[in-house]
Amino acid sequence: MILLIAVLAAGTIVEKLHGSDFARIHVYGAWWFVALWAVFAILAAVLTFRNQNWKRPVALTLFLSVACILLGALLTMLTGQHGRMKLEPNRPNSHFFIQEHDKITKEALPFSLTLDRFEIETYPDSPKPKDYISHLQINDGGTSMETTISMNNILKHKGYRFYQSDYDNKGNSILDVAHDPWGIAVTYAGYVFLFLAIIAMLIERRKIIPAVTWSWLSVLLVLMVVLHIRMLTRPLMPVLRSPLFSVHISTIVTAYALLLGILVIGIIAVVMRIAQPSNQARLERLQNISMAMLYPAVALLAAGIFIGAVWANISWGNYWSWDPKEVWALITLLIYAMPLFPNVLRSFRKPMFFHIYGILAFLSVVITYFGVNLILGGIHAYN
């Protein structure tokens, strides 16, 4: 996990210095990066069975989720196709183009699409775009069907998915095309296992999570609902007009709020250790409070990340693009997941080590929430 975190962080710096295409080719798409994840999965399997964690439903489900997500990503890399096509009014098109490295290949569709018209829907009394809409026909084996594609409203036909991506000033519509018959199904199975593991973990640890944490979570859930309503009523750029967007953002922000609480408790513990060096009992009580916040924080962060992945797949046809914001959210998840395994990483049994780790770990949240926007950039910079 430490090596993965270091490589992921380095990848975001490489992307900043040399561009996303360079990072995708030489880091995230390199054979050694795939091998690193494979070693991670193998070691996780060895650890799961060596410690007989397979007898615990939570541990087994969590392992299955990680295995399915990694296997799905591998299948997408090996068998998936992601390209782009341009539709001109009244001109059938049955091809799309895939760019890999510096090579562009032309791929044929088993049917053709014809654009009838393209329109931009704006907000009332505002020129700001609310949606991009392509009205088109599917021409398949002598039959013709009318359909519509818009932002967050995709077209699925014969295993291919089409997403409203862009347009030009000539009234042409630009679509992203995805064909991933195996990877998505396996990856989504991993997401299902992950959510089941999260729910089971919270139920299993319900005695550890005190009433004060549940009260804090209740307040945050109310704020999530308010944020959700505000986001749906605000004028947003078209791709962001999805209920999953507000759920994704509010879930992750709630997790960050809990991690902030762990930071504050850690600072209190350090000050207390300096003022009262022999008061070990209070340090242990503070650690218990932080652990009570850590479980729901990691659960919400994991849920938020993968809700975002599902939304991205619905909107863009690609559930993970190795954008710096995505990568640093994953780094934060890995960093805060470590203290959840004190039987393996025994240093976390020591209260002061745990509190200092909680203070330093919050740097990853700062980088994810602020550093990416201000320094690293990427497609999430609007957040």
Sheet holding 173-179, edge to edge: 143-150, 129-140, 103-122, 93-100, 81-87, 173-179, 160-167, 155-157
Q: Identify the helix (H) or strand (E) that includes residue 96.
A: strand 93-100
Q: What pLDDT does 235 receive?
A: 61
Q: What pLDDT does 110 receive?
A: 93
Q: What pLDDT does 39 receive?
A: 93
Burial 271-282 (b: 16+ CB within 10 A, else e): eebeeeeeeeee
Q: What pLDDT does 240 receive?
A: 65
Q: Is the pLDDT of residue 184 over 60?
A: yes
Do β-strands 173-179 and 160-167 pair in parallel, antiparallel, or remain unpaired? antiparallel
Q: Where residue 56 falls among pLDDT bands split at 50, 70, 90?
A: confident
Tokens coding 319: 């559930």
Q: Is the pLDDT of residue 341 over 70?
A: yes
What's the mean per-residue pLDDT of the chain?
A: 85
Q: Is the pLDDT of residue 366 over 60?
A: yes
Q: Which residue has the higher pLDDT, 343 or 28?
A: 28
Q: Where residue 383 falls among pLDDT bands split at 50, 70, 90?
A: very low
* 106: phi then psi, degrees, rounded to nearest 5: -105, 125
pTM of the shown model: 0.84
**Predicted confidence (pLDDT) per residue in 77-90, tens digit:** 888 888 999 999 99
Tokens coding 288: 């218990």
Average pLDDT over residues 355-366: 95
Average pLDDT over residues 90-110: 88
Q: Where residue 220 falls among pLDDT bands split at 50, 70, 90?
A: low
> Do 122 and 131 touch, CB atoms closer than 8 A?
no
Q: Is the pLDDT of residue 380 over 60?
A: no
Using CA atoms, how far residue 317 sits from 38, 106, 322, 376, in Å, is 24, 19, 14, 24
Average pLDDT over residues 189-212: 80
Neighbours of 302 (CB within 10 A): 26
Average pLDDT over residues 272-284: 88
Average pLDDT over residues 148-156: 86
Q: What pLDDT does 47 receive?
A: 82
Q: Where are the domains of the chain?
A: 83-179, 206-383
Q: Is the pLDDT of residue 236 over 70?
A: no
Residue % of the chain over a pLDDT of 90 = 37
Q: Is the pLDDT of residue 378 over 60?
A: no
Average pLDDT over residues 23-33: 90
Q: Identify the helix (H) or strand (E) that includes residue 56.
A: none
Q: Where residue 234 falls among pLDDT bands split at 50, 70, 90?
A: low
The residue ranges of DSSP E strands in 101-255, in sequence order, are: 103-122, 129-140, 143-150, 155-157, 160-167, 173-179
Using CA atoms, how far residue 55 sits from 44, 49, 51, 58, 86, in Å, is 15, 9, 9, 9, 53
